[in-house]
Amino acid sequence: MRSVLVTGGAGFIGANFIRTLISSDPNLKIVNLDALTYAGTKENLKDVEENEAYTFVEGFVEDLELLGALFVHHQFDIVVHFAAETHVDRSILEPSAFIRSNVQGTYAVLEAARTHWKGNLSENQVHLVSTDEVFGSLEAGDRPSKENSVYRPRSPYAATKASGDHLGMAYYHTYGLPISISHGSNTYGPYQYPEKLVPLVILRCLRGEPIPIYGDGQQVRDWLFVQDHCEAVLRILQKGQAGESYNVGGYDQVTNLQVVERICAILDQRIPVAGSYRDLITFVQDRPGHDQRYTVDTLKMAKMLDWSPAFSLEDGLASTVDWYLLHKDWINSAAQHSSYRHWERTQYQNR
Show the domains of the chain with their CATH numbers. Answer: 2-188+225-249+291-310 (3.40.50.720)
The tens digit of pLDDT for each residue in 89-115 reads 889 988 999 999 999 999 999 999 999
Cβ pair 58, 65 in contact under 8 A:
no
Query: Is 350's pLDDT higher than 70?
Result: no
Sign, CA torsion 131/255/290/331: negative
Of 17-26, 142-151, 236-245, 335-344, give the lowest mean pLDDT range: 335-344
**Residue length, the chain?**
351
What pLDDT band is residue 344 in, cutting at 50, 70 and 90? low
Please tell me which residue, 315 or 337, carries the higher pLDDT value.
Answer: 315
pLDDT recorded at residue 338: 55
pLDDT recorded at residue 87: 87
As a whole-number percent, the residues of the chain with pLDDT over 90 amount to: 84
The tens digit of pLDDT for each residue in 164-194 reads 999 999 999 999 999 999 999 999 999 999 9
Q: What is the mean pLDDT of the chain?
A: 93
pLDDT recorded at residue 39: 85
CA distances from 93 to 97, 194, 287 (A): 10, 17, 11
Listed in sequence order, the residues at least 6 apart from 100 whose beta carbon sits closer than 8 Å to its beta carbon are: 62
Please tell me which residue, 348 or 188, carries the higher pLDDT value.
Answer: 188
Query: Is 351's pLDDT higher than 50?
Result: no
- Please state the rounded mean pLDDT for residues 17-45: 94
Please tell me which residue, 213 or 287, carries the higher pLDDT value.
Answer: 213
* pTM score above 0.85: yes
pLDDT recorded at residue 349: 43
Cβ pair 248, 311 in contact under 8 A:
no
Could you give the residue numbers annotated as active site?
A: 132-133, 157
Please tell me which residue, 348 or 209, carries the higher pLDDT value.
Answer: 209
228: three-class secondary structure by DSSP = helix
Cβ pair 151, 136 in contact under 8 A:
yes
Phi, psi of 321 (to 5 degrees): -60, -45
- Please state the rounded mean pLDDT for residues 155-172: 97
pLDDT recorded at residue 214: 93
Please tell me which residue, 120 or 54, carries the higher pLDDT value.
Answer: 54
Over its C-alpha atoms, the chain yields an Rg (Å, rounded) of 20
Query: Is 138's pLDDT higher than 70?
Result: yes
pLDDT recorded at residue 199: 95
Greatest pairwise CA separation for the chain in angstroms: 67
Query: Is 222's pLDDT higher than 50?
Result: yes
